């Protein structure tokens, strides 16, 4: 049981009678946790900023805050500590709402006894641990779902999300938006002649080389296989052309190890007024195709 693991309970309660009753119940249950009592939400929040606490017992109607916002303000200030809301009989509905908004549990004051309180605290702590662990896992999955596993740059899913945001921004402010699409030349030969391990190494090196030579807000994506895109906000076709030419040279001059040389072909375009995403991307793809058919290791713009 959690008796050993509960060190500090923060009781935020402005009614001295209720506060005394709760402390008494805890004592009777042999709870040895330190109970810190404050009467105002602001005092509770500032206590949490300086001290650790295992669980919070919260009366929602306080001199400086009332209703559900008491709970949400506390949760915003300190999202990591489980909260048990204390309600009166007449506002039990608030308790249910508080749980929906992130409290671990609610107790109706007139129904509380020591055993109920102790058990509620135990489950609140356990549920909060689970909730935090789940959130961490979910954050990790969400990140992984948008990052290319091999190169660590964005994948197409992330590209699509960011492209949508950049399109809206470009349209709202009338700013330029350019796109480079490039593809490694004869990449299949690298895999066939050397190995797939070498192929993976080349992809990682290209990703690093390009990452180091674009601006922080340029959006670099592994489009798929050996194909990449760079979305360049606030840049027109001519500016993108200069960047593409720089990237092409860097790639051509780079030693990928064991004397291996790899080149890439580049297609460049700029967003036109009122065109669809498909047309915008399609034109970059056409430009890339032109670079391939015109002999590779070159940049074409459309």
CB nearer to Mg ion: pick between 84 and 299: 84
Shortest distance in whole angstroms from residue 37 CB to Mg ion: 12
Q: Which residue is nearest to Mg ion (CB)?
A: 61
We find the least distance from the C-beta atom of residue 85 to Mg ion, in angstroms, to be 12
Quick one: which segment of 11-19, 125-133, 134-142, 258-266 binds Mg ion (CB under 5 A)? 11-19
Smallest CA-to-CA distance from 284 within 301, 265, 297 is with 301
Interface with Mg ion by CB under 5 A: which range of 56-64, 221-229, 265-273, 294-302?
Answer: 56-64
Q: What's 3's DSSP letter?
A: T
Cβ at position 36, least distance to Mg ion in Å: 17
Instruction: Indicate the residue among 12 and 181 with the shorter CB distance to Mg ion.
Output: 12
Binding flag, residue 61, Mg ion (CB under 5 A): yes
Q: Is 108 in the site for Mg ion (CB under 5 A)?
A: no
Interaction residues for Mg ion, span 159-178 (CB under 5 A): none
Strand-strand pairing, 83-87 and 177-184: unpaired
- The two structure tokens encoding residue 33: 């946790």
CA distance 149 to 144: 7
CB of 66 to Mg ion, least distance (A): 8
Sole binder of Mg ion in the list 8, 14, 214, 302 (CB under 5 A) = 14
Among residues 39, 205, 226, 300, the one annotated as catalytic is 226
> Is 2 one of the binding residues for Mg ion (CB under 5 A)?
no
Concatenated DSSP letters of 135-178: HHHHHHHHHHTTB-TTTSSB-HHHHHHHHHHHHHHHHHHT--EE
- CB nearer to Mg ion: give 14 or 126: 14
Sequence-ordered alpha helix ranges (H) in the chain? 16-28, 41-50, 68-77, 92-100, 114-144, 156-173, 187-193, 196-211, 237-253, 277-293
**Token pair for 148:** 């290319």
**Whether 226 is catalytic:** yes
**Residue 59 vs 105, nearer CB to Mg ion:** 59
* Complex with Mg ion: residue 59 or 185, whichever CB lies closer: 59
How many residues bind Mg ion, per CB under 5 A? 3
Which strand ranges, in their side-by-side order, compose the sheet holding 55-59?
34-38, 8-12, 55-59, 83-87, 105-108
Q: Which stretch binds Mg ion (CB under 5 A): 7-15, 131-139, 221-229, 287-295?
A: 7-15
The distance of closest approach from Cβ of residue 39 to Mg ion in the complex, given in angstroms and rounded to an integer, is: 9
Q: Please pick, from the candidates 59, 205, 218, 226, the single residue that binds Mg ion as defined by CB under 5 A.
A: 59
* Measured distance CA(222)–CA(182) in Å, rounded: 10
Give whichever of 19 and 288 is closer to Mg ion, judged by the CB atom.
Answer: 19
Sheet of 177-184: strand order equals: 219-224, 227-233, 177-184, 264-270, 299-301
The two beta strands, 8-12 and 55-59, are: parallel
Smallest distance, Å, CB 24 to Mg ion? Answer: 18
DSSP assignment letter at 51? S
Assign 223 to helix, strand or coil. strand
**List of residues contacting Mg ion (CB under 5 A):** 14, 59, 61
- As annotated, the active-site residues are 226
């Amino acid at each position: 049981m959690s008796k050993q693991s509960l060190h500090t309970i923060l009781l935020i309660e402005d009614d001295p009678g209720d506060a005394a009753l709760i402390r008494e119940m805890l004592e009777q249950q042999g709870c040895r946790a330190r109970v810190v009592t404050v009467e105002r939400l602001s005092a509770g929040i500032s206590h949490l900023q300086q001290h650790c606490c295992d669980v919070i017992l919260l009366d929602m109607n306080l001199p400086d805050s009332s209703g559900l916002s008491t709970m949400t303000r506390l949760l915003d200030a300190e999202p990591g500590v489980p909260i048990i809301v204390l309600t009166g009989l007449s506002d039990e509905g608030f308790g249910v709402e508080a749980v929906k908004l992130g409290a671990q549990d609610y107790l109706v004051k007139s129904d509380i006894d020591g055993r109920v309180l102790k058990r509620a605290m135990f489950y609140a702590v356990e549920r909060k641990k689970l909730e935090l662990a789940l959130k961490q896992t979910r954050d990790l999955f969400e990140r992984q779902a948008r990052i290319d596993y091999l190169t660590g740059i964005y994948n197409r899913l992330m590209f699509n999300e960011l492209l949508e945001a950049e399109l809206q921004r470009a349209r709202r402010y009338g700013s330029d938006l350019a796109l480079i699409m490039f593809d490694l030349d004869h990449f299949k030969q690298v895999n066939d002649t050397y190995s797939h391990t070498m192929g993976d190494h080349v992809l990682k090196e290209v990703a690093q080389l390009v990452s180091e030579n674009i601006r922080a807000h340029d959006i670099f994506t592994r489009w798929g296989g050996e194909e990449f895109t760079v979305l360049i906000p606030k840049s027109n076709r001519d500016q993108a052309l200069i960047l593409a030419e720089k990237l092409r040279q860097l790639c051509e001059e780079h030693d990928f190890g064991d004397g291996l040389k790899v080149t890439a072909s580049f297609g460049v375009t700029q967003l036109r007024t009122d065109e669809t995403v498909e047309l915008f991307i399609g034109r970059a793809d056409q430009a890339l195709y032109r670079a391939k058919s015109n002999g590779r290791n070159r940049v074409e713009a459309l």
